[in-house]
Amino acid sequence: MSGSMQLEKMKLLMTGHVCYDLADAPAVALVAATNITALTQQTVMTTLQVSYPVNAIVTIVDTTPSLTGGTFSLIGRNQDGVPTTETFTYVAAGAYTGNVAWSYVESILFALTGTFTAPADETVAVATGTKMGLPVGPNGELVSVWKDVHAGTLGGAVGVYNRTYSTVIPANAPNNDHSQEFFYTYKVKLV
């Protein structure tokens, strides 16, 4: 028996169910457009937090194209409560869509190059995305999502799920008024 076969046998197959009641619609502002140089850890921690695990979309505006590159990182906890950092490489102003489903965003760190000019020139905003997190535990690995229930009605399509980040983009987007339920299978490492 090969080593990879042995490792696969050392995982427990589990089923999961999660219900996000009154899940926010996408594009809820977590951090309103703020001058990058004025954004601090305290600014981020005192703004709105997500009400369910969901990815973030970071929008950077640079009206005079003065930023030339660098990185920025979101720091917090994923859907399983595991400390996580997601780093983006800055290419140009615009929206950057993350993959991590955040249960809590603690801070944003910028290591950008270029010139910072007027207070309203280089701004950043953070909003919720459409990728919802499915808890699988720190040693878990998503296998499949097999049922998506939107507003108490079983939908035909499940949506698109990502095994690497244990997320799903539901076929029916949440809308603030209904519950969003997922039934899924995942593996847990026994060692």
Residue 2 has a pLDDT of 46
Burial environment of residue 38 by CB neighbours within 10 A (0 to 12, 13 to 18, 19 or more): exposed
Q: First-to-last CA distance in the chain?
A: 18
Give the Å distances, CA to CA, from 14 to 11, 24, 78, 144, 186: 9, 28, 20, 11, 5
Burial environment of residue 157 by CB neighbours within 10 A (0 to 12, 13 to 18, 19 or more): exposed
pLDDT tens, N- to C-terminus, the chain (191 residues): 444 545 556 789 999 999 998 888 888 888 888 888 887 777 777 677 888 999 999 999 999 899 999 999 999 999 999 999 999 999 999 999 999 999 988 888 888 899 888 777 899 999 999 999 999 999 899 999 999 888 877 766 788 999 999 999 998 888 777 889 999 999 998 86
Residue 7 has a pLDDT of 53
